[in-house]
């Protein structure tokens, strides 16, 4: 498996910790930056990871900014992306079980390293439950398609 990971300056420290963790799990990391503490705009890096997931080139992504809010907003603009802002373990688990989230977003100014490691491990190892939840995911897809075709649902 490959995972695309991106952050802004506020998420850099946590991104480095998460990259190390993901590599230790024998998962290949596609590092989409940023790689310095210089102030950058989160949409530029959210876009890189989201495009890879939206196009199907990469199955899953992880994004980190200060709160996780900006990256979530950017990421969920991309068709087929289901980005979940998970700053706690329960949300991380449920975002996989019920929402089949394909991008995990974490707030680097909110979550410390130890919790982030547990969030990422949980998110990567929790399967989607399907069944009634699949019906709901398909309704999200139908909304996306209607909006693309007609500009409304
Ligand atoms: C950067 O200062 C901060 O606004 C950004 O990392 C993020 O929290 C936005 O949602």
Ligand 1 atom 8, closest CA: 66
The pLDDT, as a whole number, for residue 34 is: 98
Q: What is the pLDDT, as a whole number, of residue 63?
A: 99
* C-alpha span between 5 and 128 (Å, rounded): 21
3-class DSSP state of 83: strand
106 CA → ligand 1 middle, Å: 11
Cβ contacts of 139 within 8 Å, gap of 6 or more? none
**Given 9, 98, 133, 153, which residue is catalytic?**
98
Domain 2-150 top-level CATH class: alpha beta
For residue 137, what pLDDT band results from cuts at 50, 70 and 90? very high
> How far apart (Å, rounded) are the C-alpha atoms in residues 33 and 71?
13
C-alpha to C-alpha distance for 76 and 49, rounded to whole angstroms: 11
Domain definitions of the chain by residue range: 2-150
pLDDT of residue 7: 99
Mean pLDDT of 3-21: 98
Residue 65 annotated in active site: yes
pLDDT in tens, 38-64: 999 999 999 999 999 999 999 999 999
Please say if 133 is a catalytic residue. no
| Packing angle, helices 113-125 and 12-24, rounded to 10 | 50
- pLDDT computed for residue 108 by the predictor: 98
The one catalytic residue among 65, 133, 150, 153: 65
The verdict on the CB of residue 100 being under 6 Å from ligand 1 is: no
In this predicted model, which residue has the larger pLDDT, 83 or 152?
83
pTM above 0.95, yes or no: yes
Nearest CA residue ID for atom 6, ligand 1: 66
Pocket test for ligand 1, best of 15, 39, 42, 46 (most atoms within 8 A of CB): 42
User: Quick one: what percent of the chain has pLDDT higher than 70?
Assistant: 100
- Band of residue 76 on the pLDDT scale cut at 50, 70, 90: very high
pLDDT the model gives residue 145: 95
């Amino acid at each position: 498996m490959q995972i695309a990971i991106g952050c802004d300056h506020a998420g850099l420290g946590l991104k480095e910790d998460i990259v190390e963790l993901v590599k230790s799990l024998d998962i290949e990391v596609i590092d989409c930056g940023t790689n310095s503490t210089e102030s950058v705009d989160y949409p530029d890096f959210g876009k890189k990871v989201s495009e890879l997931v939206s196009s199907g080139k990469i199955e899953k992504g992880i994004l980190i900014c200060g709160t996780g809010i900006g990256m979530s907003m950017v990421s969920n603009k991309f068709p087929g992306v289901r980005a979940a802002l998970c700053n706690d373990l329960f949300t991380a688990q449920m975002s996989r079980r019920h929402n089949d989230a394909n991008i995990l977003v974490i707030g680097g100014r909110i979550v410390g390293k130890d919790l982030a490691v547990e969030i990422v491990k949980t998110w990567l190892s929790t399967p989607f439950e399907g069944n009634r939840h699949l019906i709901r995911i398909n309704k999200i897809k139908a909304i996306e398609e209607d909006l693309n075709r007609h500009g409304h649902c």
